[in-house]
Protein backbone atom coordinates (compact mmCIF):
# COMPACT_ATOMS: atom_id res chain seq x y z
CA UNK A 1 0.00 0.00 0.00
CA UNK A 2 1.25 3.45 -0.78
CA UNK A 3 0.20 6.75 0.69
CA UNK A 4 0.03 9.62 -1.73
CA UNK A 5 0.96 12.44 0.62
CA UNK A 6 -1.14 15.28 1.97
CA UNK A 7 -4.33 15.67 -0.08
CA UNK A 8 -5.04 18.74 -2.19
CA UNK A 9 -8.64 18.66 -0.96
CA UNK A 10 -9.80 17.84 2.54
CA UNK A 11 -10.33 14.11 2.77
CA UNK A 12 -10.74 14.19 6.54
CA UNK A 13 -13.35 11.45 6.69
CA UNK A 14 -13.43 9.99 3.21
CA UNK A 15 -13.01 6.42 4.42
CA UNK A 16 -9.46 6.33 3.13
CA UNK A 17 -6.46 4.60 4.68
CA UNK A 18 -5.35 5.57 8.16
CA UNK A 19 -6.47 5.70 11.77
CA UNK A 20 -6.00 9.48 11.98
CA UNK A 21 -7.32 12.08 9.60
CA UNK A 22 -4.83 14.47 7.94
CA UNK A 23 -5.25 16.87 10.88
CA UNK A 24 -4.41 14.31 13.56
CA UNK A 25 -7.98 13.54 14.67
CA UNK A 26 -8.42 9.87 15.64
CA UNK A 27 -11.04 8.05 13.58
CA UNK A 28 -13.37 5.50 15.24
CA UNK A 29 -11.03 2.66 14.22
CA UNK A 30 -8.28 4.27 16.30
CA UNK A 31 -10.58 4.38 19.32
CA UNK A 32 -11.40 0.70 18.81
CA UNK A 33 -7.68 -0.09 18.86
CA UNK A 34 -7.44 1.75 22.19
CA UNK A 35 -10.12 -0.53 23.62
CA UNK A 36 -8.49 -3.65 22.23
CA UNK A 37 -5.13 -2.66 23.70
CA UNK A 38 -6.71 -2.90 27.16
CA UNK A 39 -8.26 -6.28 26.51
CA UNK A 40 -5.47 -8.25 28.11
CA UNK A 41 -3.58 -11.40 27.21
CA UNK A 42 -6.33 -13.95 27.85
CA UNK A 43 -9.01 -14.43 25.21
CA UNK A 44 -12.38 -15.62 26.50
CA UNK A 45 -15.12 -17.43 24.61
CA UNK A 46 -18.14 -15.31 23.79
CA UNK A 47 -21.61 -16.74 23.42
CA UNK A 48 -24.30 -14.49 22.04
CA UNK A 49 -27.26 -14.51 19.74
CA UNK A 50 -28.48 -11.71 17.50
CA UNK A 51 -31.90 -11.31 15.98
CA UNK A 52 -33.38 -9.00 13.39
CA UNK A 53 -35.61 -9.15 10.37
CA UNK A 54 -34.20 -11.06 7.42
CA UNK A 55 -31.43 -12.37 9.72
CA UNK A 56 -29.15 -9.42 8.86
CA UNK A 57 -27.59 -9.40 12.30
CA UNK A 58 -25.81 -12.68 11.80
CA UNK A 59 -23.87 -10.99 8.99
CA UNK A 60 -22.97 -7.78 10.81
CA UNK A 61 -22.80 -8.50 14.56
CA UNK A 62 -19.83 -10.06 16.29
CA UNK A 63 -18.16 -10.16 19.69
CA UNK A 64 -14.85 -10.87 21.37
CA UNK A 65 -13.70 -10.82 24.97
CA UNK A 66 -10.49 -10.78 26.95
CA UNK A 67 -9.27 -10.60 30.52
CA UNK A 68 -6.36 -8.82 32.13
CA UNK A 69 -5.36 -8.60 35.79
CA UNK A 70 -8.12 -6.14 36.72
CA UNK A 71 -11.05 -6.53 34.36
CA UNK A 72 -12.87 -8.32 31.58
CA UNK A 73 -13.50 -6.45 28.36
CA UNK A 74 -16.29 -7.55 26.03
CA UNK A 75 -16.49 -5.89 22.63
CA UNK A 76 -19.79 -6.14 20.75
CA UNK A 77 -19.82 -4.72 17.27
CA UNK A 78 -22.28 -4.20 14.47
CA UNK A 79 -20.38 -3.39 11.31
CA UNK A 80 -21.20 -3.92 7.66
CA UNK A 81 -19.04 -3.70 4.59
CA UNK A 82 -18.46 -0.23 3.19
CA UNK A 83 -21.67 1.21 1.68
CA UNK A 84 -23.76 -1.69 3.05
CA UNK A 85 -26.55 -0.81 5.50
CA UNK A 86 -26.25 -1.46 9.21
CA UNK A 87 -29.50 -2.28 10.94
CA UNK A 88 -30.19 -2.07 14.63
CA UNK A 89 -30.04 -5.48 16.27
CA UNK A 90 -31.04 -7.02 19.57
CA UNK A 91 -28.18 -9.01 21.04
CA UNK A 92 -28.30 -11.44 23.92
CA UNK A 93 -24.90 -11.92 25.55
CA UNK A 94 -24.32 -14.57 28.19
CA UNK A 95 -21.80 -12.75 30.39
CA UNK A 96 -21.58 -15.53 32.95
CA UNK A 97 -20.08 -17.79 30.30
CA UNK A 98 -17.17 -15.40 29.72
CA UNK A 99 -16.12 -16.03 33.30
CA UNK A 100 -16.94 -12.58 34.60
CA UNK A 101 -18.51 -11.96 37.97
CA UNK A 102 -20.83 -9.14 37.08
CA UNK A 103 -23.12 -7.28 39.39
CA UNK A 104 -24.08 -3.69 39.95
CA UNK A 105 -22.39 -1.30 37.55
CA UNK A 106 -20.33 -1.85 34.43
CA UNK A 107 -18.44 0.66 32.31
CA UNK A 108 -19.86 1.15 28.85
CA UNK A 109 -17.69 2.56 26.05
CA UNK A 110 -19.53 3.37 22.83
CA UNK A 111 -18.45 4.13 19.29
CA UNK A 112 -21.53 4.88 17.22
CA UNK A 113 -23.46 7.70 15.55
CA UNK A 114 -23.71 9.65 18.81
CA UNK A 115 -20.45 8.65 20.54
CA UNK A 116 -16.79 9.00 19.47
CA UNK A 117 -17.94 10.25 16.05
CA UNK A 118 -15.67 13.07 14.85
CA UNK A 119 -17.07 12.97 11.31
CA UNK A 120 -20.51 14.03 12.52
CA UNK A 121 -19.07 17.06 14.32
CA UNK A 122 -16.93 17.95 11.28
CA UNK A 123 -20.07 17.88 9.11
CA UNK A 124 -22.02 19.96 11.71
CA UNK A 125 -19.45 22.76 11.50
CA UNK A 126 -19.71 22.75 7.71
CA UNK A 127 -17.05 20.19 6.71
CA UNK A 128 -14.36 22.87 6.42
CA UNK A 129 -11.76 22.32 3.72
CA UNK A 130 -8.96 23.42 6.05
CA UNK A 131 -10.25 23.55 9.64
CA UNK A 132 -8.99 26.27 11.94
CA UNK A 133 -7.30 25.23 15.18
CA UNK A 134 -10.56 25.88 17.05
CA UNK A 135 -12.61 23.84 14.57
CA UNK A 136 -10.09 20.99 14.70
CA UNK A 137 -10.23 21.06 18.51
CA UNK A 138 -14.02 20.62 18.32
CA UNK A 139 -13.65 17.67 15.98
CA UNK A 140 -10.92 16.20 18.20
CA UNK A 141 -13.20 16.51 21.25
CA UNK A 142 -15.95 14.66 19.39
CA UNK A 143 -13.59 11.75 18.70
CA UNK A 144 -13.02 10.97 22.39
CA UNK A 145 -14.67 7.91 23.93
CA UNK A 146 -16.43 8.87 27.15
CA UNK A 147 -16.99 6.03 29.63
CA UNK A 148 -20.39 5.68 31.23
CA UNK A 149 -21.01 3.72 34.41
CA UNK A 150 -24.36 2.00 33.97
CA UNK A 151 -26.37 -0.46 35.98
CA UNK A 152 -25.97 -3.91 34.47
CA UNK A 153 -29.71 -4.44 34.68
CA UNK A 154 -30.31 -1.38 32.48
CA UNK A 155 -28.50 -3.04 29.60
CA UNK A 156 -31.10 -5.80 29.35
CA UNK A 157 -32.79 -5.48 26.01
CA UNK A 158 -30.42 -2.79 24.74
CA UNK A 159 -29.60 -3.17 21.08
CA UNK A 160 -26.53 -2.29 19.11
Q: pLDDT (tens digit, 9 = 90+) per residue, 15-33?
A: 777 899 989 999 999 999 9
Question: Judging by beta carbons within 10 Å of its beta carbon (0-12, 13-18, 19+), is residue 59 exposed, middle or buried?
Answer: middle
Question: Quick check: 44 pLDDT over 60?
Answer: yes
Question: Quick check: 158 pLDDT over 60?
Answer: no
Q: Which helix (H) or strand (E) is 64 found in, with range?
A: strand 61-67
Question: Judging by beta carbons within 10 Å of its beta carbon (0-12, 13-18, 19+), is residue 88 exposed, middle or buried?
Answer: exposed
pLDDT of residue 83: 81
| Residues near 57 by beta carbon (within 8 Å), at least 6 away in sequence | 50, 51, 78, 87, 89, 90, 91
Q: With DSSP H G I counted as helix, E B as strand and the rest as coil, what are the percentages for the chain, rounded to 5? A: 25, 25, 50
Taking only the tens place, the pLDDT of each residue in 86-120 is 888 877 776 665 555 666 677 888 999 899 999 99
pLDDT of residue 124: 96
* Predicted structure pTM score: 0.79
- Cα gap 106→155, rounded to integer Å: 10
pLDDT of residue 99: 57
pLDDT of residue 97: 57
Mean pLDDT of 39-62: 75
Phi and psi based region of residue 32 (left: phi greater than 0; alpha: psi -120 to 50; beta: remaining):
alpha
Amino acid sequence: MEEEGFPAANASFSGSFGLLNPFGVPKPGYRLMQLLAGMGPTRLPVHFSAAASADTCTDTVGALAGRNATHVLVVLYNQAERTAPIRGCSVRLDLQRVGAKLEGKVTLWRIDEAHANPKARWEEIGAPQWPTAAENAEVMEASIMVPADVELSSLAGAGI
